[in-house]
Structures are given as structure tokens and as C-alpha cells.
């Protein structure tokens, strides 16, 4: 019996490894992330994406490179296990699917516009909009984890919550998008470089 | 009068059965059922890079098939970035839409996909008549009340859904390795809908976090 109590105690302790931040702590984090996000003119990072579907034996792992140029040009390029890229540029979405090119005019499409700004904000980590999201802050060892739950039904139908993990410097190291079904997409960033000159060639459609 | 005769003739040919038109020879030794093993292993995650062209819309993404248990398959299509486009369950004879993107939530389209995917994953299919065509064995079957012909050489290469004696949908399986079809194409001849699937080799040391 005593053993069970110990086990339960340790389980509770383990769950509590992620603790809620105080108001002061969350304000500090927010200020740090916002200051960092504002200073980013260019960003280059590798990423690995894990698509988790509850019924699969393994997550579907894809990886590639992400490039961002202020104010709103972004390229997601998958290189493994297939070649595929999406480029948001000048209110257009350019797709290159293993050499097959197409584009979508997003100027008139509210959903794509939202998606574009969401991607940019999530890369930088600056999603602290209390009108759009219910926001909860956690401490996780040396990192911070913030949960953003969309308030709008139209949005929360697709993504229930975004979890963003920030390192000590306020950089995004991981982004997790959880669907209402609890399946999720987890993106882990690595080899991140900020404000180096990026050639225009990266952003040619 | 001659015109009438030839049109009647043409009409007759046009309405002839698919097996006659294709010169299929009836096999005496009949087979009771045929197997499609391409999605039959519960331990495998079947993951494909997919292109689905519906009328003038092209959707590309990741197409996932999982056999969850006996006569229980899940089929999910997501974008490359992981957003679900549709999520279907086939359990015995029931079909369930777990999720579908609002823009695609049309009964006609869902019904077409249901018929296509049912034929794609159905493992054991009772044979109505067996035929042969040179080196190919051809089996006439019925899936969801529609006539399907299965073409088998060394392995299952092709399924054709037939309506009014005409080919309506062709399923092509190629680059077959063991019981995995690395390339699958589903081509509709009466509507603008084509599905192209290319198997993605997932790394073995892929862990769940």
C-alpha cells in the first residue's frame, strides 16, 4: 500500500513538472518574446515535423527548411521524404510540388491571410492576442510553454490549441497544433539563425 | 434503313457486356474469392504522397491507410503541413465520416470517395465469374452493388469498375514490392477525378515522442 502511495506521489510530481506561471512571470516572458520577435528581420531554420494520428504505429516524420523575411515572406520547404514547398509572398501562395508549380491568390481569401499571419506569428512566437486566444503560461524546466486556444469557433473547429515552447532567450523551439480530435502536428525547430542576409533566390517562386 | 440497322448494331455492341467486349474467356475452374492484400497488414502504417485532382482543383497531401482490425480500415488525407482534409472509417459494411473540410463536404463527392476507397481496401471479395485474357486472370465481383473486374497476372495489377458495360473507374497498382503497391492510381472516366498515390518510405527509427 505504501508503495502505491509513493508511486502516486511521484506521478503527481511528474505531472507538476509543468507548472503554471505567475502573472509577473508570464508578463516577463511575453515582453521577452515580443522584443525578440520585433527584432527578427530574417530567419532560417531546419525543422522536423511529426504528424501524430492516434491510430498509427509511428508518427509521420517529414523535415525541411524554413525561411522568413520581414515583413511577411515565408517559405516552408520539405526536403524529406519528398520535395514540396509553399511560399507566401506578395499576397500569393506559391506551391512547388516536386517541380509541379501552382499558385493561389490569397489577397481576397480571408482564411489564407489568417493562415499566413498565423504562420509568421507562430514562428516568431508572437501570438499574444487576448482577443483571439485564451492564453495559459507554463514553466517547463528551463523552457516556457504557452497554450493558445482560438476563441473563434470557425478556427477552433480545426485547431483546438497551439502549444508553443520557448527557450530561455524567448525563441520558439517547438510548435504543436492540436486538433479537436487530439491528433496533432508537432514541429521542432533546430539550427536557427537570425538576421543573416538571405539571398532573394530563396524566395523566388 | 441501312443507317437504322447499323445504329442498332452499334447500340447492341455498346450495350454488350464488358466481359464480351473485352473478349474475356470464361474459366471453368472457378475461384470462390479473390484477395487484395495491399492494405491487409495491421502492423503497417500505409503512407502515401497524394495528388487528388477534382474538376479544376488540385489537392496535394499525405494519404494514410491503416488497417485497425478485421474489416476495419481508417483512411485519412492531410495537407503536407498536417491539416486534415478528410478522415473516413470503414468498419464491416458501415462507412463513417470522422472529419471532412467544409469545402469538400458534399454528399456526391463523399459517395464517390466511399466507393473508390471501399474497392481500394476490400480484402476478400467473392467472385461471381472467373475469366482469362491471355496471361491475365480476370474476376468479376460486386462491391457496394457495383460490378468490378479484378485483373491479376503475378499479382493484382488492376481493378475496373464497370457500369452499363463501360469502364467507369480504373485502379492501377504498380511498383509492387511484396504486398505493398508503391504506386496507385485511381482514374475516373466519366468525371474529372483522379487520385495519384506514391508510397513514402518512412524511416525505421521513427519514434513516437
Asked if A56 reaches chain B (Cβ–Cβ under 8 Å), the answer is yes
The residue of chain A with its CA nearest to that of B46 is A56
How far is residue A194's CA from residue B26's CA, in Å, rounded to a whole number?
Answer: 70
Of A52, A56, A86, the CB nearest to B66: A56
Q: Which residues pair with B66 in a beta bridge?
A: B45, B74
Q: Which residues of A touch B60 (CB under 8 A)?
A: 84, 95, 97
Instruction: Tell me what pLDDT residue A8 has.
Output: 54
List the one residue out of A44, A71, A68, A46 whose CA is nearest residue A193. Answer: A44
pLDDT at position B182 over 50:
yes
pLDDT of B10 strictly over 60? no
Give the separation between CA B151 and CA B132, rounded to whole angstroms: 9
Q: Name which residue leads in pLDDT, B104 or B95.
A: B95
In DSSP terms, B171 is beta-bridged to B159, B186
Lowest mean pLDDT among A76-80, B155-159, B201-205: B201-205
In this prediction, residues A113-139 reach a mean pLDDT of: 85
Residue B137, C-alpha cell as written in the block: 486472370
H-helix or E-strand containing A73?
A: strand A73-80
Please judge whether A58 and B208 are an interchain contact, meaning their C-beta atoms are less than 8 angstroms apart.
yes
Given a cut of 80, is residue A108 above it in pLDDT? no
When the pLDDT of each residue in chain A is averaged and rounded to a whole number, the result is 87
Q: Could you tell me which of B151, B132, B149 has the C-alpha nearest to residue B25?
A: B132
Q: Which of A169, A177, A168, A173 is nearest to A189 (CA)?
A: A173
For residue A10, count CB atoms less than 10 angstroms from its CB and return exposed for 0-12, middle for 13-18, buried for 19 or more: exposed
pLDDT the model gives residue A76: 92
Confidence grade of residue B141 (pLDDT, cut at 50, 70, 90): very high
Contacts A176 to B, Cβ<8 Å: none
What is the spatial distance between Cα A188 and Cα A87, in angstroms, rounded to a whole number?
A: 19
CB contact under 8 A, A58 and B201: no
User: Which pLDDT tens digit goes with each residue over B33-70?
Assistant: 999 999 999 999 999 999 999 888 888 999 999 999 99
What average pLDDT score do residues A8-18 get? 56
Predicted confidence band of residue A191 (pLDDT cuts 50, 70, 90): very high
Nearest to A51 among B60, B68, B78 (CB): B78
Assign A149 to helix, strand or coil: strand
C-alpha cell at A182: 487530439
A76 and B207 within 8 Å at the Cβ level: the answer is: no
* Distance of alpha carbon B51 from alpha carbon A197, whole angstroms: 35
> Does residue A7 carry a pLDDT above 80?
no
Cell of B53: 485532382
pLDDT higher than 80, residue B99: yes
Element (H, E) at A50: strand A42-52
**Tens-digit pLDDT profile for residues A20-36:** 999 999 999 999 999 98
Give the SS3 label for residue A153.
helix
Mean pLDDT of A111-125: 75
Q: Which of B142, B203, B152, B149 is nearest to B173 (CA)?
A: B152
Q: Give the 3-state DSSP-derived string for chain B, with helices as H, strands as E and coil as C.
A: CHHHHHHHHHHHHHHCCHHHHCCCEECCCCCCEEECCCCCCCCCEEEEEEEEEECCEEEEEEEEEEEEECCEEEEEEECCCCCEEEEEEEECCEEEEEEECHHHCCHHHHHHHHHHHHHHHCCEEEEEEEEEECCEEEEEEEECCEEEEEEECCCEEEEEEEECCEEEEEEEEEEEECCEEEEEEEEECCCCEEEEEEECCCCCCCCCC
B8 and A CB contact within 8 Å = no
Average pLDDT (A83-96) is: 90
* Selected residue with higher pLDDT from A104 and A74: A74
Selected residue with higher pLDDT from B57 and A100? A100
Query: Which residues does chain B have within 8 Å of residue A81's beta carbon, measured at their own beta carbons?
Result: 200-203
Contact A183 B47 (CB under 8 A): no
pTM for the whole thing?
0.87
Bridge partners of B100, per DSSP, are B86
Q: For residues A38-50, give the mean pLDDT.
A: 94
**Which band of pLDDT confidence, cut at 50, 70 and 90, is reported for residue A77?**
very high
pLDDT score at A3: 61
Mean pLDDT of B176-203: 91
Residue B194: pLDDT over 50: yes
Q: Is A201 left (phi over 0), alpha (psi -120 to 50) or beta?
A: alpha
Query: What value does the mean pLDDT take over residues A104-127?
Result: 74
Q: Is residue B108 very low, low, confident or very high in pLDDT (cuts 50, 70, 90)?
A: very high
Q: Which pLDDT band, with edges at 50, 70 and 90, does A15 fall under?
A: low
pLDDT at B13 over 50: no
Averaged pLDDT score across all residues of chain B: 88
Arithmetic mean of pLDDT, A187-205: 92
Residue A112 has pLDDT above 90, yes or no: no
* Whole-angstrom distance, CA of residue A115 vs CA of residue A88: 10
Instruction: Determine whether the interchain pair A60/B45 forms a contact, defined as Cβ–Cβ distance below 8 Å.
Output: yes
Amino acid at each position: 500500500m505504501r508503495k502505491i502511495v509513493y508511486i502516486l506521489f511521484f506521478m503527481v510530481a511528474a505531472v507538476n513538472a509543468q507548472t503554471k506561471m505567475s502573472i509577473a512571470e508570464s508578463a516577463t516572458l511575453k515582453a521577452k518574446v515580443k522584443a525578440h520577435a520585433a527584432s527578427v528581420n530574417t530567419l532560417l531554420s531546419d525543422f522536423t515535423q511529426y504528424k501524430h494520428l492516434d491510430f498509427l504505429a509511428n508518427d509521420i516524420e517529414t523535415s525541411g527548411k524554413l525561411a522568413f523575411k520581414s515583413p511577411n515572406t515565408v517559405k516552408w520547404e520539405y526536403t524529406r521524404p519528398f520535395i514540396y514547398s509553399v511560399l507566401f509572398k506578395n499576397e500569393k501562395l506559391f506551391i512547388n510540388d516536386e517541380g509541379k508549380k501552382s499558385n493561389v491568390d490569397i489577397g481576397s481569401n480571408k482564411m489564407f491571410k489568417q493562415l499566413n499571419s498565423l504562420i509568421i506569428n507562430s514562428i516568431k512566437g508572437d501570438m499574444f492576442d487576448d482577443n483571439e486566444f485564451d492564453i495559459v503560461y507554463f514553466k517547463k524546466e528551463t523552457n516556457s510553454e504557452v497554450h493558445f486556444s482560438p476563441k473563434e469557433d470557425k478556427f477552433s473547429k480545426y485547431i483546438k490549441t497551439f502549444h508553443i515552447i520557448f527557450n530561455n532567450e524567448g525563441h520558439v523551439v517547438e510548435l504543436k497544433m492540436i486538433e479537436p480530435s487530439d491528433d496533432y502536428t508537432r514541429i521542432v525547430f533546430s539550427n536557427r539563425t537570425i538576421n543573416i542576409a538571405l539571398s532573394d533566390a530563396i524566395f523566388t517562386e | 434503313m441501312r443507317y437504322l440497322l447499323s445504329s442498332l448494331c452499334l447500340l447492341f455492341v455498346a450495350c454488350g457486356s464488358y466481359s464480351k467486349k473485352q473478349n474475356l474467356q470464361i474459366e471453368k475452374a472457378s475461384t470462390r474469392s479473390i484477395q487484395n492484400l495491399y492494405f491487409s497488414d495491421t502492423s503497417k502504417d500505409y503512407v502515401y504522397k497524394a495528388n487528388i485532382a477534382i474538376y479544376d482543383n488540385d489537392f496535394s497531401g499525405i494519404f494514410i491507410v491503416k488497417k485497425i482490425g478485421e474489416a476495419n480500415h481508417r483512411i485519412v488525407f492531410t495537407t503536407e503541413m498536417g491539416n486534415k482534409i478528410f478522415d473516413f472509417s470503414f468498419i464491416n459494411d458501415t462507412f463513417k465520416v470522422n472529419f471532412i473540410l467544409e469545402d469538400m463536404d458534399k454528399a456526391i463527392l463523399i459517395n464517390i470517395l466511399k466507393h473508390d476507397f471501399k474497392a481500394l481496401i476490400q480484402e476478400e471479395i467473392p467472385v461471381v465469374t472467373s475469366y482469362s485474357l491471355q496471361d491475365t486472370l480476370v474476376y468479376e465481383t460486386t462491391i457496394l452493388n457495383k460490378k468490378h473486374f479484378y485483373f491479376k497476372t503475378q499479382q493484382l495489377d488492376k481493378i475496373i469498375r464497370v457500369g452499363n458495360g463501360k469502364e467507369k473507374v480504373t485502379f492501377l497498382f504498380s511498383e509492387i514490392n511484396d504486398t505493398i503497391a508503391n504506386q496507385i492510381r485511381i482514374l475516373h472516366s466519366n468525371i474529372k477525378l483522379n487520385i495519384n498515390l506514391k508510397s513514402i518510405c518512412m524511416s525505421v527509427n521513427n519514434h513516437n515522442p
